[in-house]
């Protein structure tokens, strides 16, 4: 009898029967507060009625219309609707299925548009598991080990991770920008560098936000040297951070934007956005795919945009995110085993450390597992897997945040004191 690969390890013991809003219900009828949201995917919660209805209606009309063969209304409407929320000047879209595909499409575009071979990524960044995307990922060797050689032309610069370096944010930012200039002098000439690829906030790398000064430094260098700034909003977009786009916290202008995850509330859909002028520099035949821009996924994405706007979910993410971060920080301040609590909007991470300040993956894992036993589903992340992250859906309520924080406080006390 066929089974799933033994390498696929579940983060929780839950076997789901159905989901509703911020809750999952297992096959025994037990309710679980889902603060994983499918790793930031179910932005409007599980099975939002508006999204379900849109998908059901579309399935009865057209399930798949391959978009370089025929065109369909959901794709045209979604493109138009995204034009209302995309940053100014990004008026051309290419759709795919996964975040990794969006990353690789952007890589191909930036290399073809500039005629340059190299890209710069930043320490701790996650961009996917396919070969090129994994070659650009530095959030953990587990994503790239064992199938070398990886793609060439990727150079890594520091991300301003103040807690990791043990410095204040200003010192860390100055160091990171200085090291980027050193990289230009020693590894990749600016004239051979096509693009910077960066997340507004490290995702798998430990939930570490960037800052305005760092992005301003990137933008200056990009403009000076003709380098394209690619901002990976796959996890931080669509209201997740309390603004529609994560980079809006840092007052920066992207040349290319990567989208996926929360775009379609659980249906597979991703894409890249750029100016028409830039997108036109892609070589003929370089963009395409069988399932990209699937009709049902596009219908779900349109409904997702409706729900985000009509239910004020960006504003809710900001308010509930502050509540969640403040609460998690209050717990962290009372817990010597938590070295840092940080986040943006509904992306909150608690980093566990030993008494001598080293990463403590064992306690983080124990906390995540104990929370699951108490009905709160969480995930770990970070290069050392010592960060427990909270990613509730954008529809989460104040009462649900309080419920999660109450469980989290009990769990943290239990795993750090043995009580």
Rounded Cα distance between 106 and 248, Å, is 20
Instruction: Judge residue 192's burial from the number of C-beta atoms within 10 Å of its C-beta, 0-12 exposed, 13-18 middle, 19 or more buried.
Output: middle
- What three-state secondary structure class fits 26? strand
Rounded Cα distance between 265 and 302, Å, is 10
- Of 88, 1, 66, residue with least CA distance to 275: 88
pTM above 0.75, yes or no: yes
In a domain, 46, yes or no: no
- Residue 341: CA atoms inside 13 Å, Cβ hemisphere, count? 22
CATH number at residue 404: 3.90.1150.10
- Last residue of one domain, picked from the residues 254, 283, 311: 311
In a domain, 173, yes or no: yes
Residue 307 and residue 387 in one domain: no
- Residue 149, preceding bond cis, omega within 30 degrees? yes
The residues, ordered by sequence, that sit 6+ positions from 4 with a Cβ below 8 Å of its Cβ are: none
Alpha carbon dihedral 319, 323, 325, 328, in 10-degree steps, equals -160
User: Would you give the DSSP letter of residue 154?
Assistant: E
Residue 288 and residue 320 in one domain: no
Extended strands (E) in 71-227? 92-96, 118-122, 154-157, 193-198, 201-202, 208-209
Residue 249 and residue 355 in one domain: no
User: Would residue 207 be called left, alpha or beta, if left means φ above 0 and alpha means ψ between -120 and 50 degrees?
Assistant: left
In a domain, 234, yes or no: yes
- Residue 80: CA atoms inside 13 Å, Cβ hemisphere, count? 7
Give the position of tokens 């508006």: 50
Residue 142 and residue 158 in one domain: yes
* Segment 354-370, tens digit of pLDDT: 999 999 999 999 999 99
**Number of folded domains in the chain?**
2
Residue 79 and residue 154 in one domain: yes
pLDDT band at 272 (very low <50, low <70, confident <90, very high): very high
Range of the domain at 214: 51-311
In a domain, 10, yes or no: no
Residue 104 and residue 162 in one domain: yes
Report the percent of the chain where pLDDT is more than 90: 98
**Quick check: 276 and 88 in contact, CB under 8 A?**
no
pLDDT score for 417: 85
Residue 207 and residue 258 in one domain: yes
Rounded Cα distance between 27 and 143, Å, is 32
Q: Cβ of 332: how many Cβ atoms within 10 Å?
A: 20
Report the percent of the chain where pLDDT is more than 70: 100
* Segment 136-162, tens digit of pLDDT: 999 999 999 999 999 999 999 999 999
**Quick check: 211 and 249 in contact, CB under 8 A?**
no
Give the position of tokens 């649900």: 400
Residue 79 and residue 116 in one domain: yes
In a domain, 8, yes or no: no
Residue 240 and residue 340 in one domain: no
pLDDT band at 313 (very low <50, low <70, confident <90, very high): very high
CA dihedral (349, 353, 357, 359) positive or negative: negative
In the predicted structure, residue 50 carries a pLDDT above the cut 60: yes
In a domain, 240, yes or no: yes
Return the minimum-mean-pLDDT range out of 8-22, 303-317, 362-376, 405-419. Answer: 405-419
Report residue 140 as tokens: 């953990």
- Last residue of one domain, picked from the residues 268, 287, 311: 311
* Segment 79-130, tens digit of pLDDT: 999 999 999 999 999 999 999 999 999 999 999 999 999 999 999 999 999 9
Question: What would the DSSP string read from start to end of 54-112?
Answer: HHHHHHTT-S---TTT---HHHHHHHHHHTTTSPTT--EEEEESSHHHHHHHHHHHHHH
Output phi, psi for 284, to 5 deg.
-55, 135
Output phi, psi for 10, to 5 deg.
-80, 140
273 CA to centre of own chain: 16
Residue 136 and residue 261 in one domain: yes
Rounded Cα distance between 263 and 39, Å, is 13
* Segment 164-211, tens digit of pLDDT: 999 999 999 999 999 999 999 999 999 999 999 999 999 999 999 999
In the predicted structure, residue 419 carries a pLDDT above the cut 80: no
- Last residue of one domain, picked from the residues 277, 311, 345: 311
pLDDT band at 23 (very low <50, low <70, confident <90, very high): very high
In a domain, 126, yes or no: yes
**DSSP H/E element including 348:** strand 347-352
Residue 382 and residue 392 in one domain: yes
In a domain, 40, yes or no: no
CATH number at residue 143: 3.40.640.10
Residue 333 and residue 306 in one domain: no
């Amino acid at each position: 009898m066929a089974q799933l690969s033994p390498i696929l390890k579940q983060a929780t013991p839950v076997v789901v029967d159905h989901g509703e809003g911020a809750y999952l219900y297992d096959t025994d009828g037990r309710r679980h507060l889902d603060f994983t949201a499918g790793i930031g995917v179910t932005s409007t919660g599980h099975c939002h009625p508006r999204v379900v209805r849109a998908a059901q209606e579309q399935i009865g009309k057209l399930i798949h219309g391959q978009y370089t063969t025929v065109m369909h209304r959901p794709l045209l409407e979604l493109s138009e609707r995204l034009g209302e929320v995309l940053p100014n000047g990004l008026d051309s879209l290419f759709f795919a299925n996964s975040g990794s595909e969006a990353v690789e499409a952007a890589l191909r575009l930036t290399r073809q548009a500039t005629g340059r071979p190299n890209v710069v990524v930043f320490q701790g960044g996650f961009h996917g598991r396919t070969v090129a995307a994994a070659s650009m990922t530095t959030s953990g060797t587990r994503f790239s080990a064992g199938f070398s050689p990886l793609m060439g032309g990727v150079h890594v610069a520091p991300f301003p991770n103040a807690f990791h370096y043990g410095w204040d944010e200003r010192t860390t930012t100055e160091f990171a920008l200085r090291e980027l200039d050193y990289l230009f002098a020693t590894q990749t000439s600016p004239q051979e560098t096509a693009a910077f690829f960066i997340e507004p906030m490290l995702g798998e790398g430990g939930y570490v936000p960037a800052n305005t000064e760092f992005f301003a430094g990137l933008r200056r260098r990009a403009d000076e040297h003709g380098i394209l700034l690619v901002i990976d909003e796959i996890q931080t977009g669509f209201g997740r951070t309390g603004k529609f786009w994560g980079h809006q916290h840092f007052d920066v202008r992207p040349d290319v934007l990567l989208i996926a995850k929360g775009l379609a509330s659980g249906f597979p859909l991703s894409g890249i956005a750029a100016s028409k002028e830039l997108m036109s520099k892609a070589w003929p035949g370089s963009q395409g795919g069988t399932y990209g821009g699937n009709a049902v996924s596009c219908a779900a994405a349109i409904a997702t945009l409706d729900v985000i706007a009509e239910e004020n979910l960006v504003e809710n993410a900001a308010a509930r995110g502050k509540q969640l971060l403040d609460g998690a920080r209050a717990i962290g301040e009372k817990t010597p085993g938590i070295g840092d609590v940080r986040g943006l909007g509904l992306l909150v991470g608690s980093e566990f450390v030993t008494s001598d300040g080293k990463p403590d993956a064992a306690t983080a894992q124990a906390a995540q597992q104990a929370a699951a036993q108490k009905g709160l589903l969480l995930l770990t992340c970070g290069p050392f897997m010592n960060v427990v992250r909270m990613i509730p859906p954008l529809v989460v309520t104040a009462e649900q945040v309080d419920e999660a924080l109450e469980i989290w406080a009990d769990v943290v006390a239990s795993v750090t004191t043995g009580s």
